[in-house]
Structure 1
Amino acid sequence: MSNFARVRPVGYRKGRAAIGEDPTRRYPIYAIKGGAPTLLEQRDEVARLLADDSYDGDVDELLQRADEITAQIEQANQRDARRRALQAATLPAGDPQPQGGSQRREEPGMQPDDRGNPGPVTVAEAFVRSAALEHFRANGKQGKFAVEHRAAPAGTVTTGTQPQQNTRVPGILPQNPDFPLLVANLLDRQTSDGTTLEYMRDTSGPQSTWNKAAVVAEGADKPMSGPFTFDLITTTLKTVAHWVPITRQAADDNGQLMGYINGRLTYGLEYKMDREILTGNGTTEMQGILTTPGIGTYQPPVGNTDVKLITVRKAKTQGELALYPPTAVVMNPMDWQDIELDEDQNGQFRVIANVTDPGAPTRLWGLTVVTTVAMAAGTALLGGFRTGATLWERQGITILMTDSHADYFTANTLVILAERRANVAVHTPQAFVKITFAAATA
C-alpha cells in the first residue's frame, strides 16, 4: 500500500495521461505524505486555485469546497473563543466548587486580570510570580534580587524617549479600586530614559495678556501675539524609597509577602509621591506644584464670610478666567468634611453626598475631588492638572529582597525594599490656583 494518505483532493486538473494510463483519468492537485492536509493547507491550496486563471477543473466543486473550509475555520475560531471565555469565567463568592477530583486552589497573586489574562495586575503579584523570587527561594534565600513593575496608566501614552512636545490626554483616570484616588493619577504621565530632566516652563502670564488675535480687514497687517517668555528648567529625577524587615517564614507565604508589598511598601511610596507632587522643594526633593513660581492664588477678601463650598466655586471661576479650565481639586480631609457637612439655614446639607455608596466618585462643582493628608488643612489646590504638569518616571516601582543586612542573616530575617524614580515638570503654572479658605485679615 502506498505511503501517501488517501485523502480527498481539493480539486482536479484535466490533463494528458502518462503512457499506459487511462486518458480519461483526472489526477489530484497534490498529495499529502503521512496524513491529511490541515485546514490551513487546504485553505491556501483552494485560494491558489481560485486565483489561477488557467484552472480548468470543476469550478463549482472548487467553490463548494471553499465554502466548506471557510465554515470549518469559523467553527474552529468560535470553539477557541468559547474555550477562552470558559477559562476566564469565575464562580461568585459562596458558590460551591465542582464536585469530584481535587479542587484547585488559587494561590494569592495567581488570579487572572479583569480580561482573563494570566499576567500580574499589581506590583505584589508581579513580584510573587517572578522567576527571580522562585530562584531566590530555591537557593535558600541567599543573595539579592530585584523585580521592577511599571504599569502604564489607563488613557495615557508612554514613550521610551523624551519627546519634543508632550501629547495631552483629556479626562481623569478612573479611581484605583484598592486605594483612594491619588494626586499622581490626575497628572499627565510620561516615561524618561535619562536621569536629567529638562523642560520649558511657560512664564508668559495669563493668555488674555498676550493673545492679540483680532478680526483683520482684507489686505491689512495681521497682529502678532506675545510676548511669550519661557524658562529652561533643568532638574534630576528623584528616588523615593523605603524598606521593611520580613522573616524567612513570611517570605515563603505569598499572601503575607503580597500584604507587605501592597499594604506597606507600595502605598508608602504612593503617599510620599503625593506629598512630593504638592509640596516638594524642587532641589533636594521633587518639584511641588504649590512651590512652583507663577501659580494662581485665591483667598476670600477681608471680612468675607463665604463657606468653603463657595470659596472653591469662586476659585474655579478664577481658573476659567485664566483660560485654563480646572478639572480637579485637592484638599485635606478635614476641609472636605466641612464642605460635606455644611448646612443651610433649614438644616439641609448644601452638598448632596451619596453616603450609602462610599465607592462613588467624589465630585464638587463638576471637579474631581482628591482628599489627602499631604495637603495642609485650610488650603487646597485647584487646576487643570493634565494641562499644567507632567509626571516623568524613569523607574517604575521596583521591589528588592536580600538577606544581606547587618545581623539580619543570623536572625533569620530578610529585607524587602521598594523604590521608584520620578519628578514633576510644572510647565504651565497658570493652570493651577492655590486656595486659602480663611478670609484675609486687614
Structure 2
Amino acid sequence: MNRILERHSNTFALFIALSIITLAVFGFDVDAAVINQHGDLFGAAGLAFAGCGSVGDIHKISEAVDIIENKINKFHDQAEKQLQETGKVSTETKNALEKFQEKQLEIADRLLYLEQKGVSGGGMGGDTPRQSGWGSQIVKNQNLKELLSGSRQKIRVEVQNNTLTGSDTTAAPMRKPGVVAGGFAPLTLESLFPHFPTTEAAIEFTRENVFTNSAAEAAEGAQKAESAITWTLVNQPVSTVAHWLKISKQLAADNQLLAAYVNARLSFGVNRRVETQLAAGDGTGANIGGILKSGNHVVHAYDDATLGSGLKKHKLIRRIIADMKSGGFMPSAVLMNPADWLLFDLDLLDSVPATITAQDIAGGFEPRIFGVPVVESIGVTADSFAVIAPQLGVIHDRQAVEVEISDSDGDNFTKNLLTIRAERRLAFCVEQPAAARGGDLSPV
C-alpha cells in the first residue's frame, strides 16, 4: 500500500513541478529551495513540458497548485490513518486516488499530443529546423543547470515567443468566385411601347398634323360641310448607342466570370442610355428624340395659382388625365422620376387629415395615381413628368445589343489587350405627340 501512495504522490508532485516551470516561463523568480524539494522530479517534469506552448493565467495556476497540494496531504494522511486503524485503505480513498491518477495521465497525454503536433514549431518529418517550445527552452537553459547543481539560488528564464500570427503565408484567404456586382437600376420605358424589326437605316411615316372637323347637319339639297386634314412626312433615322473598354488577354483567359461580367455591364450601359434617350433625348445629331423633346408631347399650361393649395402635384396629374381623355386618348402610364414619386407619398403623409391608412404604410404605396399606373424611370428628368397613351409611338429595332471582342484595335496586338464593344441600333418613332402631355411638375 505504501508503494501505491508513493506512486500517487510522485504523480502529483510531477504536476506541482510543471506548475513551477510555468512560473519561470512568465518571469517569476523560482526559489532553489522549491527545486531542491522536488529535485528528483523536476527534470522529468521539464522534459514532459518541453513541447507545451499554451499556458493559463498564472494566478489560476498558483491557486490550482495550492488546491492539489492540500488534496494530496488530505488523502495521504487519511490513507495512513485508515491503514493503521483497520489495516486497509477504504474504497472511497482508493477511488479518489485513482481519479487523481487518471487526471494526471490526461495531462501527460495532452503534453505528448502537443509535442507531436509541433506546437513548438517543428515540421512534419522535413528538414525544417524545429523551434523550441517554452518548456524545452527552460530545460536547456544554462541557468537551470546551475540552479540544480546548487551554485545558484534563484533563476529567471527569458523565453522566445514562437507564436504564429495569421497571414497569407500561414493561412490563405478564401477567394469567393464571381464578381460582386454594382447597381443595376431597373429599366422600364421600353416595355411601354411595341417593338418592330427593321432592316433600314431610317424610318419614314406619315403623321396627321391637323384635323379640322367641320361635320354638321345639312338640309336636303344643301351644300355639305367640308373638313380638312393636314399631313406631315416624318423621317426618323436609326440611332446607334455604343461604348467600349479594354481588358488584357490574360484577364479574359484567367477569369472568365469577370470577363462575362464586363460584357453584361457594357450591355446594361447601352440599355440604360436608351432609357434616358427615350425619355429626354433632344433628337439633335445622332440623339434619339425622346418623349419630353419639344414637339413630341403637349406641354401643359397650368400654373401654381390654378392648382390651389395642398397636394398640388396630385391635382396637376388629375387635370392632365382629364385633358388626355378629352382629347381622345386613354392614359396608360404616368412617367416620373423615382425621387418625384417619393414626394407624392410624402405629401400624402403630411396632409391634414392624412389620406393614407396604416395598411398603406405597411404594404407600401401602390405605384398608381387616379387609376393610372405610375412608371418610375431613371431616364425622366427630375421635376418633370409625362402622362402617355398607347398611341404615342413605337420602337423599331435595327440591331439588338451585340458585344464584340477584338485584338485588332490600335496597338492591342502588341500590348496583349482586347477591346470589348457593346452596340445597339434602334429608332423611336413618336407617331402621335398628342398622346403625351406633361412638362414641369412644379409650375410657378
Q: How big is the shift at 1:432?
A: 0.5
The one of 284, 295, 298 aligned to 2:297: 295
Q: Which amino acid aligns with 1:391?
A: I
Relative to structure 1, the CA distance from residue 224 to residue 216 in structure 2 (aligned partners, 3 Å threshold; closer, same or farther) is: closer
Q: Does structure 1 retain, via aligned residues, the 8 Å contact 2:333–2:388?
A: yes
How far apart, in 2, do the equivalents of 1:392 and 1:242 lie? 21
Match of 1:404 in 2: 408
Q: Does structure 2 retain, via aligned residues, the 8 Å contact 1:332–1:371?
A: yes
How far apart, in 2, do the equivalents of 1:396 and 1:290 lie? 24
Q: Provide the TM-score with structure 2 as the length reference.
A: 0.51
How far apart, in 1, do the equivalents of 2:275 and 2:376 lie? 11
Question: What aligned pairs does 1:4-83 form with structure 2 within 5 A after superposition?
Answer: none
The one of 245, 260, 265 aligned to 2:262: 260
How far apart, in 1, do the equivalents of 2:272 and 2:335 lie? 14
Asked if residue 200 in structure 1 is aligned to residue 198 in structure 2, the reply is no
Relative to structure 1, the CA distance from residue 403 to residue 435 in structure 2 (aligned partners, 3 Å threshold; closer, same or farther) is: same
Match of 1:230 in 2: 231
Question: What's the RMSD between the two structures over aligned residues?
Answer: 3.3
How far apart, in 1, do the equivalents of 2:227 and 2:438 lie? 26
Asked if residue 180 in structure 1 is aligned to residue 182 in structure 2, the reply is no
Higher mean displacement: 404-413 or 312-321: 404-413
How far apart, in 2, do the equivalents of 1:321 and 1:438 lie? 23
Match of 1:246 in 2: 247
Q: Which amino acid aligns with 2:279?
A: L
Question: What aligned pairs does 1:304-315 form with structure 2 within 5 A after superposition?
Answer: 304=307, 305=309, 306-315=311-320
Asked if residue 368 in structure 1 is aligned to residue 361 in structure 2, the reply is no
Relative to structure 1, the CA distance from residue 419 to residue 335 in structure 2 (aligned partners, 3 Å threshold; closer, same or farther) is: same
How far apart, in 1, do the equivalents of 2:200 and 2:324 lie? 34
How far apart, in 2, do the equivalents of 1:182 and 1:286 lie? 17
Q: Does structure 2 retain, via aligned residues, the 8 Å contact 1:182–1:270?
A: no
Q: How big is the shift at 1:416?
A: 1.3
Question: What aligned pairs does 1:30-429 form with structure 2 within 5 A after superposition?
Answer: 180-204=186-210, 210=213, 212=215, 226-252=227-253, 253-262=255-264, 264-284=265-285, 285-293=287-295, 295-303=297-305, 304=307, 305=309, 306-342=311-347, 343=349, 344-347=351-354, 349=356, 362-384=367-389, 386-429=390-433
Relative to structure 1, the CA distance from residue 202 to residue 395 in structure 2 (aligned partners, 3 Å threshold; closer, same or farther) is: same
Q: How big is the shift at 1:372?
A: 2.6
Deviations 1:319-343 (A, max 9, x none): 1111111101111222111012222
Higher relative contact order (CA 8 A, sep 6+): 1
Q: Does structure 2 retain, via aligned residues, the 8 Å contact 1:340–1:349?
A: no
Is the partner of 2:378 in helix, strand or coil? Answer: coil
Deviations 1:327-366 (A, max 9, x none): 0111122211101222221345489757657xx9733223
Relative to structure 1, the CA distance from residue 400 to residue 361 in structure 2 (aligned partners, 3 Å threshold; closer, same or farther) is: farther
Q: Does structure 1 retain, via aligned residues, the 8 Å contact 2:187–2:377?
A: no
Q: Where is the helix percentage greater, Structure 1 or Structure 2?
A: 2
How far apart, in 1, do the equivalents of 2:420 and 2:370 lie? 43
Asked if residue 434 in structure 1 is aligned to residue 438 in structure 2, the reply is yes
Relative to structure 1, the CA distance from residue 279 to residue 412 in structure 2 (aligned partners, 3 Å threshold; closer, same or farther) is: same
Gaps of 5+ in 2: 1-176, 179-183
Q: Does structure 2 retain, via aligned residues, the 8 Å contact 1:320–1:326?
A: yes
Deviations 1:166-188 (A, max 9, x none): xxxxxxxxxxxx85242122112
Q: Does structure 2 retain, via aligned residues, the 8 Å contact 1:297–1:435?
A: yes
Q: How big is the shift at 1:196?
A: 2.0
How far apart, in 2, do the equivalents of 1:261 and 1:221 lie? 71
Gaps of 5+ in 1: 1-106, 109-177
Is the partner of 1:341 in helix, strand or coil? Answer: helix
How far apart, in 1, do the equivalents of 2:386 and 2:197 lie? 25
Deviations 1:183-216 (A, max 9, x none): 12211211111102111122126xxx5373x789
Q: Which amino acid aligns with 2:383?
A: G
Match of 1:136 in 2: none
Q: How big is the shift at 1:236?
A: 1.6
Q: How big is the shift at 1:310?
A: 2.3
Is the partner of 1:404 in helix, strand or coil? Answer: coil
Q: Does structure 2 retain, via aligned residues, the 8 Å contact 1:382–1:435?
A: no
How far apart, in 2, do the equivalents of 1:222 and 1:352 lie? 64
How far apart, in 2, do the equivalents of 1:287 and 1:351 lie? 43
How far apart, in 2, do the equivalents of 1:317 and 1:432 lie? 13
How far apart, in 2, do the equivalents of 1:229 and 1:240 lie? 34
Q: Provide the TM-score with structure 1 as the length reference.
A: 0.51
Q: How big is the shift at 1:426?
A: 1.0
Q: Does structure 2 retain, via aligned residues, the 8 Å contact 1:401–1:414?
A: yes
How far apart, in 2, do the equivalents of 1:226 and 1:424 lie? 31
Q: Which amino acid aligns with 1:232?
A: L
